[in-house]
Amino acid sequence: GQWLGLSSAPVEEDDGSVFVAKEEDFKDSQRIRGTVKDREVVIFHHEGQYHALDLRCYHAGGPLHLGDIEDIAGQTCVICPWHNYTIALATGEGLYQGTDPLDPLRTKKWFSKGVKQRIHKVNVKNGGVYVTLSDTSIRCDSDDYACEKLKESENTV
């Protein structure tokens, strides 16, 4: 699918949220990438709900804004285009398919690895979509790939 990149400088509101896009900008691709205080994020619009996540996949930094959206085990997920990791949009949990060793039939089921991808809060005000970053003092695996600055420094090595 297509995505829309916005180039205007983000402005922080009094409540710490940052304007990322207008609601109407989601019409075509149902997703927008943005930068909130040096952090790359993607916002998905799915069945009337907005979900913001770190844009770079926690596994190896894959571009989640290019991933497919699928309903898996009752959760809406994005599938990373690089190695097909599955991330629940509402929680940031990494999901994987496996078998329960105690199940004699070894039926394949979905399990959670816990929260791996950082999610952020989305507010809609006057047709604008605003993102508030979650508390980054608690580490999340996707932090390793989240910042433009980090990427730049990696590129210079």
Which residues bind to ligand FES, rule: CB under 6 A?
57, 59-62, 80, 82-83, 85
State the nearest-atom distance from the C-beta of 62 to ligand FES, in Å: 3
**If you compute the radius of gyration of the chain from its CA atoms, what whole number of angstroms results?**
16
Comparing CB distances to ligand FES, the nearer of 19 and 59 is 59
Region label for 99, one of left (φ > 0), alpha (ψ between -120 and 50) or beta (otherwise): beta
State the nearest-atom distance from the C-beta of 9 to ligand FES, in Å: 29
| H helical segments located in 1-157 | 148-155
Comparing CB distances to ligand FES, the nearer of 49 and 84 is 84
State the nearest-atom distance from the C-beta of 119 to ligand FES, in Å: 16
Locate the DSSP E strands across 74-118. Answer: 75-79, 86-88, 93-99, 108-115
Comparing CB distances to ligand FES, the nearer of 78 and 133 is 78
State the nearest-atom distance from the C-beta of 121 to ligand FES, in Å: 23
Comparing CB distances to ligand FES, the nearer of 61 and 92 is 61
Among residues 128, 105, 96, 119, the alpha carbon closest in space to that of 18 is found at: 128
State how beta strands 75-79 and 108-115 pair. unpaired
